[in-house]
A and B are shown apart, each in its own frame.
Chain A
Amino acid sequence: MFQLSLKNLLRNKRRTFLTGASVSLTLILVCLLGAVLTAMESAEGSADNRIVVRSAISLTFSLPESYWQRLQQMDHVLAVTPLNWFGGIYKDERPENFFAQFSCDPQTLLDVWPEYQIPQDQVATWRQERNSFICGQALADKYGWKIGDQIFIKGSIYPVDLTLTLRGIYTEPNAPSAEKSIYFHRKYLEEALGNPGQVGTFFLRIDSPDNVGTVVQHAEAMFENSEAQVRAETEKAFSLSFLEMLGNIRMFLGAIGAAIVVSLLFITANTMAMAARERTSEVAVLKTLGFRQGHVVRLVMFESLAVGLGGALVGLGLAYVLVRGAARGMENVFPIFGTLAVTPPVALLALGLGILIGLVSGGFPAWQAARLSIVDGLRKLA
């Protein structure tokens, strides 16, 4: 029986290939969307005790440096550090040479990110040298940087260029994407800019994730009547806000995924129905030979399941490769996507959809074949 199903699949190779390819393509998209949604969910859902305070108007607006001290005095706040996005050009403007560059306060940065592991002697040297910087291990490995190396960064947002000396390399085993940034002295940049006293964002470490909500409320309330109102949010919500600028991404992606799957279901079902209809007379012959309804149903269902499952497996394999590539390509721009992966739940979803497509698309032709009257089927031959 299965031999006949397999041979039937190869009867019209082009149609089988195109149908399988459409299933694969759809499930690649589902896997990509699933990986993105999973990355977003995991970023938003995990517990966090870091808060970002920034201008309520937009990220492009700065806050007065004087807010730093007031934020430090709030209840439950363990440490506050200012961070400015420099966004300069290293070597050239190719995306592969893009990485995050922050001006920071070396005295407080590691109080807010205590999980960064860096030798104390390197920290001490970095804090003393105004034109020095620290970087993550992954970035040092990528460019072959060693302690004492100098790099040149051309400013693109700020009208200054920086020559910095590497004095420390940190690691963060739990967040590999965090190892792709550099941190240099805020005062070095401030002096070059004429000491404007402006800060892009403040990062706060809170004593407990339970108090995050309270601190967020108090921080926003504290500056409600100030010249520069603030928006406070968790660090991960802050990361997601870059994406949310595009709209309700999750709902958008989910709707696209559902539309694709439903469309494909109709296309595949129609193709399978066409293939089954072409063989109406053969089904009648099989029944004449003594094949029962159950045999005929299995014959048709095996074909459609083979297309659905085969397409799903190929799609999954390709999606795995593509997602890995996308993660590598996007992690510099959106570090949150550095963790993009086809997770087991997404893989199971894709396989399940492949099976569902096979079952649903084969179901109606199988039902028709089972109900086919032998006489009607044979009559189509005449």
Chain B
Amino acid sequence: MSDPLIQLRGVTKVYRRDQFEIPVLEGIDLDIAEGEFVALMGPSGSGKSTLLNLMAGVDSPTSGRIVVAGSDIAQLGEGELAPWRHRNVGFIFQFYNLIPVLTARENVELPLKLASLSRQDRRLKVETALELVGLADRMDHYPKQLSGGQKQRVAIARALVTAPTFLLADEPTGDLDAASASDVLDLLGQLNQEFQKTTVMVTHDPRAAERARVLYHLEKGQLQREHTGAV
């Protein structure tokens, strides 16, 4: 059996607020195989987003190892983590986090500015990504000119455009109506199935969680595998 793409071993995370220590994650072990679609559920404050941030390399564990595609990212400094994130992580936020002064095209192009690509190559990649999420006719629209579902699809195109190793989605349907949420989940499912894009999604919504093949439940710092779904 091949090594998992993402492997967490004994990961703990403790936040310090003044003199208080608040344990959030306690000795988490987790393996995620390449091409997997994983949902993380749990009550508010259970540490779902913290676990996602640790996998994304935007936060560091108090102890434990986080190995992604062979690299122990817990050992990397910020100077190394930034390019690592650029190469490996496609992050999708609950509130889209598009830059309001940039068009959909410019928002998607943003991470490509860090790569050594010609303007023509960047343009081609951006247009491909936006076509993939069904927004070929909205490329020059600003975020305020788009609906919530369309904004989230632009955000997904931005996460995809660098061809990252895996996608991390933090409540991607949390700010959407039911129809838009369904569209976004369809899109994430399609990316996982057709392009074998490894995806880890945090959600409160049981209907969203059903789209994943593997569901984990996180509560009081402990992780439990609930069931293996069928997509």
| B79, closest chain A residue (CB) | A292
- In the complex, 16 of the A-B residue pairs with CB atoms within 8 angstroms, ordered by the A residue number, are A4-B99, A4-B101, A7-B102, A11-B100, A285-B99, A286-B110, A288-B56, A288-B85, A288-B89, A288-B91, A290-B85, A290-B111, A290-B114, A291-B114, A292-B79, A293-B82
- Quick one: given A288-B56, A288-B91, A374-B58, are A281 and B97 in contact (CB under 8 Å)? yes
**A7-B101, A282-B99, A293-B78 given. 13 additional CB < 8 A pairs?**
A1-B113, A4-B99, A286-B110, A287-B82, A288-B58, A289-B91, A289-B114, A290-B83, A374-B53, A374-B59, A375-B58, A375-B59, A381-B93
The digit string for A257-298, where 1 denotes a CB below 8 A from any CB of B, is 000000000000000000000000110011111111101000
Residues of chain A with a CB closer than 8 A to B58's CB: 287-288, 374-375, 378
| A3 sits at the interface (CB 8 A) | yes
**Which residues in chain A, 49-86, are within 8 Å of chain B measured between CB atoms?**
none
> Are A4 and B102 in contact (CB-based, < 8 A)?
yes
A11 to B100, CA, bound (A): 9
**Which residues in chain B, 79-100, are within 8 Å of chain A measured between CB atoms?**
79, 82-83, 85-87, 89, 91, 93, 95, 97, 99-100
| A122 sits at the interface (CB 8 A) | no
| B106 sits at the interface (CB 8 A) | yes
- Quick one: given A288-B85, A289-B85, A289-B110, are A381 and B97 in contact (CB under 8 Å)? yes
Chain B residues near A (Cβ < 8 Å): 53, 56, 58-59, 78-79, 82-83, 85-87, 89, 91, 93, 95, 97, 99-102, 106, 110-111, 113-114, 158, 162
Residues of chain B with a CB closer than 8 A to A292's CB: 78-79, 82-83
Q: Is the interface of B mostly helix, strand, loop or mixed?
A: helix
A1 to B111, CA, bound (A): 10
> Are A289 and B86 in contact (CB-based, < 8 A)?
yes
Give the shortest distance, in Å, between A297 (CB) and chain B (any CB): 13
| A10 sits at the interface (CB 8 A) | yes
Q: Is the interface of A mostly helix, strand, loop or mixed?
A: helix
| B171, closest chain A residue (CB) | A382
**Which residues in chain A, 278-320, are within 8 Å of chain B measured between CB atoms?**
281-282, 285-293, 295
A289 to B91, CA, bound (A): 8
> Are A10 and B59 in contact (CB-based, < 8 A)?
no
| A171 sits at the interface (CB 8 A) | no
Which 7 pairs of residues, A with B, have the shortest CB-CB distance? A290-B86, A7-B101, A374-B58, A292-B82, A285-B97, A289-B111, A290-B85
Interface size of A in residues (CB-CB distance below 8 Å) = 23
A295 to B85, CA, bound (A): 15
| A368 sits at the interface (CB 8 A) | no
Give the shortest distance, in Å, between B14 (CB) and chain A (any CB): 14
Residues of chain B with a CB closer than 8 A to A378's CB: 58, 93
Among B86, B89, B101, B102, the most chain A Cβ lie within 10 Å of the Cβ of B101
| A375, closest chain B residue (CB) | B59
| A8, closest chain B residue (CB) | B101
A290 to B110, CA, bound (A): 10
A285 to B91, CA, bound (A): 9
Give the shortest distance, in Å, between B66 (CB) and chain A (any CB): 15
**Which residues in chain A, 225-268, are within 8 Å of chain B measured between CB atoms?**
none
Residues of chain B with a CB closer than 8 A to A293's CB: 78-79, 82
Residues of chain B with a CB closer than 8 A to A374's CB: 53, 58-59
> Are A11 and B101 in contact (CB-based, < 8 A)?
yes
A340 to B117, CA, bound (A): 53
Residues of chain B with a CB closer than 8 A to A290's CB: 82-83, 85-87, 111, 114, 162
Residues of chain B with a CB closer than 8 A to A291's CB: 82, 114
Residues of chain A with a CB closer than 8 A to B97's CB: 281-282, 285, 381
| A296, closest chain B residue (CB) | B82
> Are A375 and B53 in contact (CB-based, < 8 A)?
yes
A287 to B113, CA, bound (A): 13
Residues of chain B with a CB closer than 8 A to A287's CB: 58, 82
A293 to B81, CA, bound (A): 11
